[in-house]
Amino acid sequence: ASRRAEKSVRNRAKPEGSIVEAWVQYESLTFCGMYLQDVETAFNRPQRNNDGVAHWFVLNNCDEIMAYLDEHEEMMKREHPSHLVAQKQRELFPQWFLESVNKLKSSNSPTYSDELYNLALGPIRAELFSGCYINGVKFLGAARDDKLCTQNSGVHVPGGGESTNIDFYGKLTNVVQLLYKDRYQVIMFKCRWFDTTQIGRAVLKSTMEYYL
């Protein structure tokens, strides 16, 4: 804290005023950051080395468990303020889902399946590839594809839903294969997406992941 205070001094003649002003700014930004849902802040920034990111992404995009996601979301709404619901679900759902599937297994529920259990356990390991074949279509990462005449790194995701009807376009950078128990696997595309929100411009945005 003292080191931060020293760095905030701009007027050496009146250091106390500079420190107070900097601290007020810091406290104001910290308070506002708690309520910014669409902006990355210290409260919602993902960890650099978070092995659970891919697992959560798969769970959150799996049609087979949407009922579980909806149930858990309602729980989070009852237990946490609205601005923390999304964060808490991301943090707590994987373990809650695993416990729910274990209960189904122990009670011999007809809704239990090995696929559901393996999905709840999470991936055992991940492998990285520069390309792949899916449904007879060849996809190559941009680094490899840029050296060829025929381009196979383009990605198109149709828009839709409540938030937007804008289609998304990008370039594939890597293929990530998540391996699960009993040889189950999930393929993920790591892409760079073009900014299509501004007419006449096509700017590559930050890296995102798309689940197939």
End-to-end CA distance of the chain: 46
Over residues 103-154, the pLDDT tens digits come to 999 999 999 999 999 999 999 888 888 888 877 877 777 777 677 776 777 7
- Give start-end residues of each CATH 2.30.30 domain in the chain: 123-212
The answer on pLDDT for 163 being more than 70 is: no
% residues pLDDT > 70 (the chain): 64
Architecture of domain 123-212: Roll (2.30)
Give the type of residue at 190.
Answer: K
Burial-class residue 123 by CB neighbours within 10 Å (0-12, 13-18, 19+).
buried
What token pair was written down for 157? 């995701």
pLDDT of residue 112: 93
Q: How far is CA 196 from CA 41, 105, 179, in A?
A: 24, 46, 33
pTM of model > 0.85: no
